[in-house]
């Protein structure tokens, strides 16, 4: 079943309903891929009912107000990796991008990369959230409040952000390849939102040359971290947003093609079949080791960083 982005809302709604009847557990994003449209096309169908289009002219004001609702779930994903974190974040306006920090959490996203926003009601597993997309309808960042007792207060607060346009039509616009859910080479936490490693103010520190590792070496790294109890920093980016979470790892699990970290402090889903290359770099200044895992097109999918003198690094040295 495949439609086009030119399908009318009625045609798209009917096709989606037929698909949900056949596959009731299908996520909206996966349904959109099967229907040949963007996720934002399906979200827009609920405008005025299960979703409301948001104004995106002052993203700092929105997220500053959103953060007042306390601990929330923040999610950044690309085609092959999803990183989620429950956190209470403090947002800062850095001009071209927004940055937020919380315990073990760093989030940044480019303001110009967000063209559309929706508040979503009754999403799977969470009741209220905001989802933001680029011009083509690719998800940039999602955020959901966790305290369900605050839903009435949230619903009243978010009305000020409702757009005058609540039509069920989503008009997708093409975006440059680098912004269409891909990742830029070279990033810091201040936000080029992609890249082959992390810089934290140690740009002049010496780094050892990259060393290629087996594509599935993320298993070695994470399994060693579970045994040793050491913390791992996992970072996932798309063309416009970056989320990094640092925490010990406890529970690893595999569901079909997805390799998962299922901890409250660190929740990741990695499509392991998409990982084709891996390279480690040791930073002698920060005494950290970062592994960049890339897809077939040599685009970074996920980064994992550990202490260079820890057990996980030692296991990687053996590969």
Other Cβ atoms closer than 10 A to 281: 19
Alpha-carbon span 60 to 207, nearest angstrom: 35
DSSP state of 13: H
Alpha-carbon span 251 to 244, nearest angstrom: 18
* Cα distances (angstroms) measured from residue 68 to each of 65, 122, 142, 147, 247: 5, 21, 16, 12, 24
What backbone torsions phi and psi does residue 69 show, to the nearest 5 degrees?
Answer: -85, 10
Whether the CB-CB separation of 287 and 308 falls below 8 Å is answered with yes
CATH 3.30.70.890 matches 9-177? no
Would you give the distance in Å from CA 116 to the centre of its chain? 16
Alpha-carbon span 194 to 187, nearest angstrom: 5
pLDDT at 295: 98
Same fold: 9-177 with 182-317: yes
HEC profile for 260-287? Answer: EEECCCCEEEEEHHHCCEEEEEEECCCC
Q: Where are the domains of the chain?
A: 9-177, 182-317
pLDDT at 7: 85
pLDDT at 269: 98
pLDDT at 196: 39
pLDDT at 236: 98
Alpha-carbon span 223 to 226, nearest angstrom: 5
Q: Where are the alpha helices (DSSP H) in 124-213?
A: 151-158
Please choose, from the candidates 97, 102, 99, the residue with its C-alpha nearest in 3D space to the C-alpha of residue 85.
Answer: 102
Alpha-carbon span 171 to 160, nearest angstrom: 23
What backbone torsions phi and psi does residue 287 show, to the nearest 5 degrees?
Answer: 55, 45
CATH number of 182-317: 3.40.1570.10
pLDDT at 227: 98
pLDDT tens track, the chain, 319 positions = 556 567 899 999 999 999 999 999 888 999 999 999 999 999 999 998 999 999 999 999 999 999 999 999 999 999 999 999 999 999 999 999 999 999 999 999 999 999 999 999 865 667 899 999 999 999 999 999 999 999 999 999 999 999 999 999 998 888 765 544 444 433 444 555 544 344 444 456 678 899 999 999 999 999 999 999 999 999 999 999 999 999 999 999 999 999 999 999 999 999 999 999 999 999 999 999 999 999 999 999 999 999 999 999 999 999 9
DSSP state of 203: T
């Amino acid at each position: 079943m495949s439609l086009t982005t030119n399908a009318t809302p009625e045609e798209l709604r009917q096709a989606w309903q037929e698909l949900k009847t056949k596959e009731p557990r299908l996520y909206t994003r996966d349904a959109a891929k099967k229907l040949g449209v963007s996720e934002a096309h399906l979200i827009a169908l609920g405008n005025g009912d299960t979703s409301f289009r948001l104004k995106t002219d002052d993203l700092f004001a929105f997220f500053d107000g959103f953060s007042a609702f306390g601990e929330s779930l923040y999610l950044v994903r690309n085609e092959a990796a999803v990183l989620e974190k429950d956190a209470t974040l403090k947002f800062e306006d850095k001009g071209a991008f927004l940055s937020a920090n919380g315990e073990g959490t760093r989030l940044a996203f480019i303001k110009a990369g967000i063209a559309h926003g929706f508040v979503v009601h009754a999403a799977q597993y969470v009741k209220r959230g905001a989802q933001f997309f680029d011009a083509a309808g690719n998800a940039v960042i999602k955020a959901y409040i966790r305290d369900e007792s605050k839903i009435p207060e949230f619903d009243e607060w978010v009305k000020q952000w409702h757009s005058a346009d609540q039509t069920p039509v989503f008009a997708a616009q093409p975006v440059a390849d680098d912004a269409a859910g891909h990742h830029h080479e070279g990033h810091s936490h201040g936000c080029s939102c992609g890249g082959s490693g992390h810089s934290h103010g140690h740009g002049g520190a010496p780094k050892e040359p990259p060393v290629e590792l087996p594509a599935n070496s993320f298993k070695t790294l994470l399994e060693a971290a579970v045994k040793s109890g050491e913390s791992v920093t996992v970072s996932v980016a798309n063309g416009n947003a970056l989320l990094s979470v640092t925490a010990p790892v406890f529970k690893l699990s595999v569901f079909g093609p997805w390799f998962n970290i299922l901890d409250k402090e660190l929740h990741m889903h990695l499509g392991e079949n998409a990982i084709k290359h891996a390279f480690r770099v040791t930073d002698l200044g920060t005494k950290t080791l970062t592994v960049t895992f890339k897809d077939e097109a040599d685009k970074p999918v996920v980064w994992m960083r550990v202490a260079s003198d820890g057990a996980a690094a030692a296991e990687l040295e053996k590969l």
